[in-house]
Homo-oligomer: A and B are copies of this chain.
Amino acid sequence: MEQITPDGARNILAPEELDLMNRYWQAANYLSVGQIYLMNNPLLKEPLAEEDVKPRLLGHWGTTPGLNFIYVHLNRIIKKYDASTIYICGPGHGGPGLVANAYLDGTYTEVYPEITEDTEGMQKLFKQFSFPGGIPSHVAPETPGSIHEGGELGYALVHAFGAAYDNPDLIVACVVGDGEAETGPLAASWHSNKFLNPINDGAVLPILHLNGYKIANPTLMARMSKKDLTDLFQGYGYEPFYVEGDDPEYMHQRMAEVMEECYARIREIQSEARAEGTVYEMPRWPMIILRSPKGWTGPKFVDNKKVEDFWRSHQVPISEARQNADHRSQLEDWLKSYGPEKLFDENGRLIPELKALAPEGDLRMSANPHTNGGVLRKELKMPDFRELAVDVTQPGAVMTSATKRLGMLLREVMKLNAEERNFRLMGPDETASNRLQDVFEVTDRVWMADILDYDEGVARDGRVMEVLSEHLCQGWLEGYLLTGRHGLFSCYEAFIHIIDSMFNQHAKWLKTTQHMAWRKPISSLNYLLTSHVWRQDHNGFSHQDPGFIDHVVNKKADVVRTYFPPDANTLLVVGDHILRTYNRVNVIVAGKQPQPQWLSIEEAIVHCDTGLGEWKWASNVPEGEEPDVVMAAAGDVPTLEMMAAVDILRQKLPEMKVKVVNVVDLMALQPKEEHPHGIRDVDFDALFTENKPVIFAYHGYPWLIHRLAYRRHNHNNIHVRGYVEEGTTTTPFDMVVQNRLDRYHLAMDAIERAGGFGERGAAALNYLKEMRAKHHDYVREHGQDMPEILDWKWPYPKG
Contact = CB atoms under 8 A, between A and B. Distances in A.
Interface of A: 39, 54-56, 58, 92-93, 127, 130-138, 140, 149, 151-154, 179-180, 182-191, 194, 214-220, 223-224, 228-237, 306, 310, 429-433, 445, 447, 449-450, 452, 454-455, 457-458, 466-469, 471-472, 494-495, 497-498, 500-501, 504-505, 508, 511-512, 537-543, 545, 547, 550-551, 554-556, 701, 703, 706-707, 710, 725, 728-731, 734, 779-780, 782-784
A590 B652 CA distance: 56
A608 B142 CA distance: 44
B542 A151 contact: yes
A190 B93 CA distance: 27
B458 A218 contact: yes
A425 B725 CA distance: 30
A648 B271 CA distance: 72
A191 B229 CA distance: 12
A681 B220 CA distance: 53
A448 B149 CA distance: 32
Given A179-B429, A183-B188, A707-B703, A306 B236 contact: no
Contact of A182 (B134, B153, B468): B468
B152 A783 contact: no
Contacts of A494: 152, 501, 504
A556 B539 CA distance: 20
B132 A223 contact: no
A191 B182 contact: yes
Contacts of A216: 429-433, 457, 466
Nearest to A466: B217
B217 A237 contact: no
Given A235-B228, A429-B216, A504 B508 contact: no
Contact of A729 (B136, B217, B228, B229): B136
Contact of A471 (B55, B184, B191): B184
- What is the total number of copies of this protein in its complex? 2
B235 A542 contact: no
6 contacts: A137-B539, A151-B540, A182-B191, A220-B467, A224-B235, A228-B235
Question: Which interface residue of A54, A185, A447 has the most chain B CB atoms within 10 A?
Answer: A185
A663 B542 CA distance: 33
Nearest to A455: B218
Contacts of A551: 500, 547, 550-551
Contact of A188 (B136, B187, B547): B187
A56 B235 contact: no
Contacts of A430: 215-216
A218 B468 contact: no
Given A58-B729, A140-B540, A229-B235, A183 B469 contact: yes
B550 A554 contact: yes
A688 B608 CA distance: 42
Contact of A542 (B149, B538, B556, B703): B149
Contacts of A191: 182, 187, 220
Contact of A231 (B235, B472, B779, B784): B235
Nearest to A141: B541
A468 B93 CA distance: 15
Given A56-B783, A541-B508, A782-B55, A468 B310 contact: no
A77 to B, nearest CB: 28
A537 B137 CA distance: 10
Contacts of A469: 182-184
B538 A58 contact: yes
A743 B219 CA distance: 42
Contacts of A508: 541-542, 725
Contacts of A131: 729-730, 780, 783
B497 A512 contact: no
Contact of A445 (B217, B458, B511): B217
B130 A538 contact: yes
Contacts of A218: 447, 449, 452, 455, 458
Question: Which interface residue of A449, A468, A728 has the most chain B CB atoms within 10 A?
Answer: A468
A454 B433 CA distance: 55
Contact of A224 (B237, B433, B467, B495): B237
